Structure 1
Amino acid sequence: MDYKMRRDIVPTAVKVELIKLLVSSGLPVVEATSFVSPKWVPQLADAKDVMEAIRNIEGARFPVLTPNLKGFEAAVTSGAREVAIFASASESFSKSNINCSIEDSLIRYHDVAYISCVVGCPVEGMVLPSKVAYVAEQLCDMGCSEISLGDTIGVGTPGTVIPMLEAVLDVVPVDKLAVHFHDTYGQALSNILTSLQMGISTVDSSVSGLGGCPYAKGASGNVATEDVVYMLNGLGVKTNVDLGKLMIAGDFICKHLGRPSGSKTATALNKTTIAHASKL
């Protein structure tokens, strides 16, 4: 694979092709883009164009991320049928990430929610389970269809995730919950397995482990989708996702970015394939 550095901004056509590849792998939901300020996140300035290009793609749902009312209105105008918004269980992170307090963020939000910093915050440190449960309950009472619990900086372990989930499950039905674990310390899969054992069946992930948070320095991307699918296959869980096609999508975007995959599964299987081919 050619890992030469490419330009920072990913062209719209490459984003659209990646979405098509992800859908073809069998993933039922692909978060397509984010309607954020192009001044602060120029990478996502083409959100409207991406939505226009995928308008006729069938076989998956395409929620988009919106941090405020302006973003929400732009998303709806662009044809988005589902929006994800993010509230934080950390007061400091809420102010640095979306420029408002927890209470103000709760006033803004409805429909779909993502809660960041559910076990740790880059500013405040560890976050109490009771704080996460409070935010989750408020969002649930607003009528949110799904609440994703995000370990934004990836510091969680089953030891901290279990009490957090127990607190949230006391106030929110399990079928409304999803989990979103970053893999900074290599704990994402163990945290996902723990969540599955507690009844949660919706998991956020990122192809090849791409991503990260600009306000959480040092944090890696969300857990690699390839690794989650490999683990679920090993558990006998039916996902309807073709791991081979998923790896093609990951290879496509990694080649464009000029970086190796963050997926241990993709890396191992690619090495195995190369080794096997060399013996033929």
Structure 2
Amino acid sequence: MPLLSPAAPAVLISEVGPRDGLQSLAAVMPTAAKLAWIDALHAAGVREIEVGSFVPASRLPQMADVAEVVRHAVTRPGWTVMALVPNLRGAEAALAAGAHKLTLPLSASEAHSQANVRRSRAQMLEELRAIARLRDRVAPGVALEVGMSTAFGCTLQGPVAEDEVVRLAAAAVEAGADEVGLSDTTGMADPAQVRRRFRQVHAAIGRHLGAAHLHNTRGLGLANVLAALDAGVRTFDSSQGGLGGCPYAPGASGNVVTEDLVFMLEAMGLDTGIDLERLMAAREVLRAGLPGEPLHGMTPEAGLPPGFVYADGRRPAGVTTAPEAA
């Protein structure tokens, strides 16, 4: 898997709220509110963020302003701005907007692939090859990631075979992916399964292993993070306030809460580079942009404990450590 530079955090948190979080909501967050939230996340120390998906607005009206959002986000220094692209047309638009990294969804489940992108898995691998050729021709510095949906089970198809996940991961690398991450799209994973599957995929594709995208649907999100850490994963997707889930996977809900994930890792002595107090401030910007939308997370409710110290030795300023108002 990719090695982090000495200046990089020990664990990279990839914030997916502006894409995966917002796409499942009935409400459409105003563009100005999105930009303010993204700026607040940058100020908190987030260094990788998925800001939207290049899909038809008729399918996901929440993403209608994605090009404008990407163009804004890339003006902020020192972070990687990602966009989800389900096809070559989306990749062309994302590159034109200046995205630093493209993420292509590839489902381990044939049923989910048809529901999510209306293509077979074989067709998506061909799409990946076309996007890789485009990237190599016009923007060779842009990273290309595959997020393997339903890698731990599918509510439409049922169990997903481990050897099928490994086969698809290897096929994605062969087709041009720089990284392949595994997603618990439907919240069906358990720690033993997570540890085993990431180890198997790492054995097959080595340094190309990417992020763990885990859900808290059944309360196992952070436990599964620990299992993935044990398997060597060092990049984790999460969503502020726990927003999100796949709109094309029945029962999918509950992304891992960024606030809780950062607190756990920092308390364990693993540097994330994220300031929790500024992250709480970003949460308030999110709340203002989505009034009435429930936000999840235990850390915002409980506050930071007395004596809390960041992994790098810093201590909180104490401004936002009080629990949220009920």
TM-score, length basis structure 1: 0.91
Amino acid at match of 2:235: T
User: Structure 1 residue 273 and structure 2 residue 322: aligned?
Assistant: yes
Shift of residue 48, structure 1, vs aligned partner: 1.3
How far apart, CA to CA, are the structure 2 residues paired with 1:274 and 1:144? Answer: 42
Q: Return the alpha-carbon distance in structure 1 between the equivalents of residues 26 and 204 of structure 2.
A: 46
State the match for 2:309 in structure 1.
none
> Do residues 103 (structure 1) and 137 (structure 2) align?
no
Which amino acid in the other structure matches residue 48 of structure 1? A
State the Cα distance separating 1:214 from its structure 2 match: 0.7
1:97-118 C-alpha deviation (Å, 9 max, x unpaired):
0011111111111421110001
Q: State which drifts further: 164-173 or 152-161.
A: 164-173
Q: Secondary structure at the match of 1:233?
A: helix
The amino acid that maps onto 1:235 is M
Deviates more, 1:214-223 or 1:232-241: 214-223
1:3 maps to: none
> In the aligned structure 1, how far is the partner of 2:323 from the partner of 2:94?
43
Residues matched between the structures, number:
271
Corresponding residue of 1:81:
100
Find the residue that maps to 2:228 and give its secondary structure: helix
Of 177, 185, 192 in structure 2, the residue corresponding to residue 159 of structure 1 is 192
Cα deviation for residue 141 of structure 1 reads 1.9
Q: 1:28 to 1:231 in 2, by over 3 A?
A: same
1:49 paired with 2:68, answer: yes
Are positions 1:223 and 2:256 aligned together? yes
Tell me how far apart the structure 2 counterparts of residues 274 and 98 of structure 1 sit (CA, whole Å).
41
Pick from 74, 80, 84: which aligns with 1:65? Answer: 84
Cα contact 1:68–1:108 (8 A) shared by 2: yes
Root mean square deviation of aligned Cα: 2.0
Structure 2 runs not aligned, ≥5 long = 1-24, 133-143, 305-319
Aligned residue in 2 for 1:261: 295
Question: 1:163, 1:200 → 2: CA distance?
Answer: 12
Structure 1 residues 174 and 53, CA, compared in 2 at 3 Å: closer, same or farther? Answer: closer
1:115 is paired with a residue whose SS is strand
Q: Structure 1 residues 78 and 272 mapped into 2: Cα distance closer, same or farther (>3 Å)?
A: closer
Q: Does 1:240 align with 2:259?
A: no
User: Does the 8 Å contact 1:175/1:200 carry over to 2?
Assistant: no
Q: Secondary structure at the match of 2:103?
A: strand
Structure 2: how far apart are the matches of 1:164 and 1:179?
11
1:172-183 matched pairs, under 5 angstroms: 172-174=205-207, 176-183=209-216
CA shift in 2, pair 1:274/1:99, >3 Å: closer
Structure-2 separation of matches of 1:141 and 1:221: 32
Counterparts of 2:236 and 2:201, CA distance in 1 = 16
Q: Provide the rounded CA distance (Å) in 2 between the counterparts of 1:87 and 1:13.
A: 31
* % identical aligned pairs: 37
Amino acid at match of 1:133: V
Equivalent pair of 1:86/1:114 in contact (CA under 8 Å):
yes
Contact 2:178/2:208 (<8 A) preserved: no
Please name the residue that 2:48 is paired with: 29
The structure-2 alpha-carbon separation of the partners of 1:55 and 1:272, relative to structure 1 and needing over 3 Å to count, comes to closer
**Larger CA deviation: 252-261 vs 238-247:** 252-261
1:207 and 2:240 equivalent? yes
Query: Structure 1: how far apart are the matches of 2:254 and 2:32?
Result: 22
- How far apart in 2 are the matches of 1:171 and 1:55? 33
* Residue identity opposite 2:32 in structure 1: A
The one-letter code matched in structure 2 to 1:137 is: A
Rounded Cα–Cα distance in structure 1 between residues aligned with 2:205 and 2:267: 29
Measure the CA separation in 2 of the matches of 1:202 and 1:81: 17
Deviation for aligned residue 1:174: 4.8
Amino acid at match of 1:56: T
Residue 272 of structure 1 deviates from its aligned partner by: 6.9
For residues 264 and 272 of structure 1, the distance between their equivalents in structure 2, rounded to whole angstroms, comes to 12
> Equivalents in 2 of 1:165, 1:42: separation in Å?
34
> What code does the residue aligned with 1:50 have?
V
Mark the CA change 1:219 to 1:91 in structure 2 (over 3 Å): closer, same or farther: same
**Partners in 2 of 1:154 and 1:143 — Cα distance?**
28
| 2:139 equivalent in structure 1 | none
Moved more, 80-89 or 172-181: 172-181
